[in-house]
């Protein structure tokens, strides 16, 4: 019996036999993001026996089943269908050990130092794993303990465990150290395996990547490819390709990358990139002034987050995964609760559905209500926050920190001014102009969206001025009015294309693209354009480049005559 099957035999809810007057049965489990949880549902609705009703033809009362979750900072909601899969997966161990937080100063979580707390955490986690393995040795062996094959099978498991952890086959010296020695020095199999697990999980070969092999080694290529696309060690196919010497050329690595981008692990990483890119991984509580926005509440905020995630799924999950659709799409995902708030007629109980919006008013991601609400204050829009996102995130411009602490001017101090006028007034000083001369004109183009992302025609009883401009790196001034004209400019701009490539590379590889050659960014950008802005194909190119060092890349291209 495999482990996942054994777990499924222990029901979370068992209401097969009804007793008493209970009409609802509910149970919960704690979920960890990024893990797969097996689920089996058996649902039967039938009469429960007992006294026959007076009306024998009366219908059986309606019954239903709901599968819901509650994400951090969100309300309980039905689990979206895109989070469910019929694919069978093995059980996943989740350790309880708390690790110290990683450094985020580089823009993503990355371990940059070895501290005493981190070392203690790795030891505690290794002990947890060793206890887990010891309790399931019969499952891993696949034969009874009294079988003559039991000890050899456990030994094979220990070797496979070490090879997967080290991401390469064991050399004779490593096999003697990590496998032979524990079995030779302990009286029983269980203790030997515990020692193997502890030694392997505390080894630098496991804790640090690319230790124990040359850069051009096929197993290091496989490891880099897996971590770029999946954030996991290589799978069996990658390990087999490395063992067969089939990761030595660009074509061979690219073929593996094409296979890997169809895996759910890649889809999950790409989704997390977009949330990170939009700074939404830092948004936890989206509060608004309830006196000014009485329709706003936690349910609306949670629904808008779901709406944005469905929008991203629609774009990146489509056959083309066209980057331009992020800015040019003319649809939103709304349900019955959101629809009246954003000018759409839907039944009150309508589930999320894709609805068309006026393309002259909204422009894809740029105007999505959740993004607009996130880059806004509690009472008013924020051209500065929106402009910073456009300048840094979308156009890739570098902005210096403000020289002084910055607090937006309260509307009450200037009751006759619009938000645009207050921002212009506060940032008019010479010390502000070097950055706000770039930030403000971009942010002003989104002024037609209020603090909760609704379309408006006036601010403080004055007509909205959504005009703006951008001075390109080549010195050209481009003017636009509103989100749609801004979107048209962005999707055609080489600056936008290069910035997206650079940020996706940096997030995926956790190194700057320029470390892989002076021409790497330009080459990737040109390939991105030639591939019709297919985000998945761009990731394939990024992973291939990162998996091969510059020297290896040059050699593989020479071998193929490129």
pTM above 0.95, yes or no: no
pLDDT tens-digit readout, 465-504: 999 999 999 999 999 999 999 999 999 999 999 999 999 9
Strand 353-356 with 331-334, pairing:
antiparallel
Least confident of 86-90, 153-157, 337-341, 368-372: 86-90
Position 21 pLDDT exceeds 90: no
Angstrom distance (rounded) from CA 381 to CA 376: 5
Angstrom distance (rounded) from CA 78 to CA 486: 35
CB-based contact 543:257 (threshold 8 Å): yes
Q: Where are the beta strands (DSSP E) in 45-116?
A: 68-69, 77-78
Q: Given the structure tokens 């936890």, which residue do they identify?
A: 284
Alpha-carbon distance values, 313 to 108, 371, 373 (Å): 22, 16, 20
Classify residue 83 by its DSSP letter.
G
Q: Given the structure tokens 């998996």, which residue do they identify?
A: 547
Mean pLDDT of 3-21: 63
Residue by residue, DSSP assigns 101-114 as PPB-TTSS-B----
Angstrom distance (rounded) from CA 351 to CA 66: 14
Q: Which of 390, 386, 406 is nearest to 447 (CA)?
A: 386
Q: Could you tell me the residue ranges of all domains in the chain?
A: 1-47+60-92, 116-207, 285-482, 493-559
Confidence (pLDDT) at 187:
84
Classify residue 62 by its DSSP letter.
P
Q: Which of 314, 294, 437 is nearest to 365 (CA)?
A: 314
Give the torsion sign (CA, 496, 502, 506, 507): positive
What are the φ and ψ backbone dihedral angles of 479, each rounded to 5 degrees?
A: -110, 145
Residues contacting residue 479 through CB under 8 Å, at least 6 positions apart: 467, 468, 469
pLDDT band at 551 (very low <50, low <70, confident <90, very high): very low
pLDDT band at 39 (very low <50, low <70, confident <90, very high): confident
Angstrom distance (rounded) from CA 76 to CA 298: 11
Strand 458-459 with 331-334, pairing:
unpaired
Alpha-carbon distance values, 19 to 14, 15, 22, 114 (Å): 12, 9, 7, 56
CB-based contact 399:433 (threshold 8 Å): no
CB-based contact 373:458 (threshold 8 Å): no
Give the torsion sign (CA, 197, 198, 199, 204): positive
In the chain, % of residues over pLDDT 70: 87
CB-based contact 167:223 (threshold 8 Å): yes
pLDDT tens-digit readout, 204-223: 999 988 665 555 689 999 99
CB-based contact 500:321 (threshold 8 Å): no
Classify residue 28 by its DSSP letter.
-
Classify residue 376 by its DSSP letter.
B
pLDDT tens-digit readout, 345-359: 999 989 999 999 999
Query: Which two tokens mark 289?
Result: 């002034």
Q: Which of 202, 204, 233 is nearest to 219 (CA)?
A: 233
DSSP three-state, residue 356: strand
Angstrom distance (rounded) from CA 219 to CA 236: 12
pLDDT band at 113 (very low <50, low <70, confident <90, very high): confident
Classify residue 331 by its DSSP letter.
E
Confidence (pLDDT) at 561:
41
Mean pLDDT of 433-457: 95
Residues contacting residue 129 through CB under 8 Å, at least 6 positions apart: 93, 95, 197, 201
Confidence (pLDDT) at 557:
46
Residue by residue, DSSP assigns 433-475 as HHHHHHHHHHHHTTTTB-TTS-B-SEETTEE---EEEEE-TTS
Angstrom distance (rounded) from CA 14 to CA 317: 36
Alpha-carbon distance values, 44 to 15, 16, 65, 78 (Å): 10, 8, 10, 21
Confidence (pLDDT) at 4:
41
Angstrom distance (rounded) from CA 159 to CA 151: 12
What are the φ and ψ backbone dihedral angles of 517, each rounded to 5 degrees?
A: 125, 145
Confidence (pLDDT) at 110:
66
Mean pLDDT of 366-376: 96
Angstrom distance (rounded) from CA 166 to CA 223: 10
pLDDT band at 131 (very low <50, low <70, confident <90, very high): very high
Q: Which helix (H) or strand (E) holds 387?
A: helix 383-388
Angstrom distance (rounded) from CA 117 to CA 65: 45
Q: How many residues does the chain have?
A: 562
Q: Is 10 exposed, middle or buried (0-12, 13-18, 19+ CB in 10 A)?
A: exposed
């Amino acid at each position: 019996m495999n482990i996942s099957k054994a777990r499924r035999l222990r029901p979370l809810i068992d209401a097969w036999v009804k007793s008493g007057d209970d009409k609802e049965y509910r149970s919960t489990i704690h979920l960890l993001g990024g893990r797969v949880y097996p689920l089996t549902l058996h649902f039967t609705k039938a009469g429960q026996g007992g006294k026959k009703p007076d009306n024998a033809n009366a219908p059986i009362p309606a019954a239903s089943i709901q599968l819901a979750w509650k994400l951090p900072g969100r309300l309980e909601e039905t689990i979206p269908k895109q989070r469910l899969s019929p694919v069978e997966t093995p059980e996943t161990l989740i350790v309880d050990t708390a690790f110290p937080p990683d450094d985020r100063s580089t823009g993503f979580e990355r371990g940059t130092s070895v501290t005493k707390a981190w070392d203690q955490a790795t030891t505690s986690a290794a002990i947890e794993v060793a206890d887990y393995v010891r309790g399931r040795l019969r499952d891993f062996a696949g034969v009874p303990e009294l079988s003559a094959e039991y000890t050899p099978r456990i030994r094979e498991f220990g070797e496979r465990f070490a090879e997967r952890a080290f991401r390469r086959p064991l050399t004779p010296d490593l096999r003697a150290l990590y496998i032979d020695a524990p079995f030779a020095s302990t009286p029983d199999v269980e203790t030997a395996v515990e020692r193997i697990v502890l030694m392997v999980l505390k080894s630098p070969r496991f804790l640090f990547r690319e230790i124990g092999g040359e850069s051009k080694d096929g197993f290091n290529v496989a490891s880099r490819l897996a971590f770029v696309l999946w954030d996991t060690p290589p799978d069996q196919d990658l390990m087999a390709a490395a063992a067969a010497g089939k990761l030595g050329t660009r074509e061979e690595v690219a073929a593996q990358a094409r296979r890997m981008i169809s895996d759910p692990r890649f889809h999950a990483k790409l989704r997390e990139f977009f949330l990170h890119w939009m700074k939404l991984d830092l948004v936890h509580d989206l509060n608004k002034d309830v006196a000014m926005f009485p329709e706003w509440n936690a349910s609306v905020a949670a629904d808008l987050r779901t709406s944005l995630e469905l929008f991203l799924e629609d774009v990146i999950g489509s056959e083309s995964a066209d980057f331009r659709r992020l800015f040019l799409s003319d649809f939103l995902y709304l349900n019955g609760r959101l629809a009246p708030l954003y000018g759409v007629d839907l039944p009150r109980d309508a589930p999320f559905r894709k609805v068309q919006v006026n393309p002259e008013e909204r422009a894809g991601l740029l105007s999505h209500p959740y993004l607009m609400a996130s880059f806004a204050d509690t009472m008013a829009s924020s051209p500065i926050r929106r402009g910073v996102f456009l300048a840094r995130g979308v156009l890739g411009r570098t902005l210096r920190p403000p020289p002084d602490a910055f607090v937006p001017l309260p509307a009450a101090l200037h009751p006759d001014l619009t938000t645009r006028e207050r921002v212009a007034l506060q940032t008019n000083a010479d010390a502000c102009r070097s950055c706000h001369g770039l930030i403000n004109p971009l942010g002003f183009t989104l002024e037609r969206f209020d603090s909760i992302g609704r379309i408006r025609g006036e601010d403080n009883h004055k007509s909205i001025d959504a005009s703006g401009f951008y001075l390109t790196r080549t010195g050209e001034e481009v003017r636009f009015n509103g989100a749609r004209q801004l979107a048209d400019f962005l999707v055609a701009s080489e600056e936008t294309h290069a910035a997206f490539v650079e940020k996706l590379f940096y997030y995926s590889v956790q190194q700057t693209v320029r470390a892989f050659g002076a021409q790497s960014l330009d080459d990737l950008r040109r390939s991105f354009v030639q591939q019709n802005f297919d985000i998945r194909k761009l990731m394939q190119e990024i992973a291939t480049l990162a998996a091969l060092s510059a020297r290896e890349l040059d050699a593989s291209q020479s071998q193929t005559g490129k």
